[in-house]
Copies of this chain bind each other. A is one copy, B any other.
Amino acid sequence: MKNRTVFLVSDSTGITAETLGHSLLTQFEAENFKQVTLPFINTIEKADEAVARINRVAAQDNLRPIIFSTLVDDELRDRLLPANGLFLDFFQTFLAPLEGELGVRSNHTSGRAHGLLDTVKYDQRIDATNYALTNDDGSHTRDYEQADLILIGVSRSGKTPTCLYLALTYGVFVANYPLSEEELESGKIPAVLEPYKHKLYGLTIEAARLQQIRKVRRSTGRYSTIQQVNYEIRAAEQLFKRFRIEFLDTTHASIEEIASNILNSTGVERRVSP
In the bound complex, do residue A4 and residue B102 qualify as a contact, i.e. CB atoms below 8 Å apart?
yes
Residue of B nearest to A37 (CB): B270
A97 partner residues in chain B, CB cutoff 8 A: 86, 88
23 A-B contact pairs sorted by A residue (CB < 8 Å): A13-B259, A18-B273, A20-B20, A20-B94, A22-B113, A23-B91, A27-B95, A27-B98, A27-B109, A28-B98, A28-B102, A29-B112, A31-B102, A40-B261, A66-B101, A86-B98, A88-B98, A114-B256, A115-B253, A122-B254, A129-B160, A133-B160, A168-B255
A12: CB under 8 A from chain B?
Answer: yes
A24: CB under 8 A from chain B?
Answer: yes
* CA gap between A91 and B170 in the complex, in Å: 24
A111 partner residues in chain B, CB cutoff 8 A: 257
* CA gap between A18 and B114 in the complex, in Å: 13
In the bound complex, do residue B129 and residue A27 qualify as a contact, i.e. CB atoms below 8 Å apart?
no
Contact with B along A140-170 (1 / 0, CB 8 A): 0000000000000000000011001100110
User: How many copies, total?
Assistant: 2
* CA gap between A26 and B101 in the complex, in Å: 15
* CA gap between A97 and B116 in the complex, in Å: 34
* CA gap between A196 and B135 in the complex, in Å: 31
**Which residues 87-132 of A have a CB within 8 angstroms of B?**
88, 90-91, 93-95, 97-98, 101-102, 104, 106-109, 111-117, 122, 125-126, 129-130
* CA gap between A160 and B264 in the complex, in Å: 28
Interface size on A, residues (CB 8 A): 77
In the bound complex, do residue A90 and residue B126 qualify as a contact, i.e. CB atoms below 8 Å apart?
no
* CA gap between A193 and B129 in the complex, in Å: 26
A178: CB under 8 A from chain B?
Answer: no
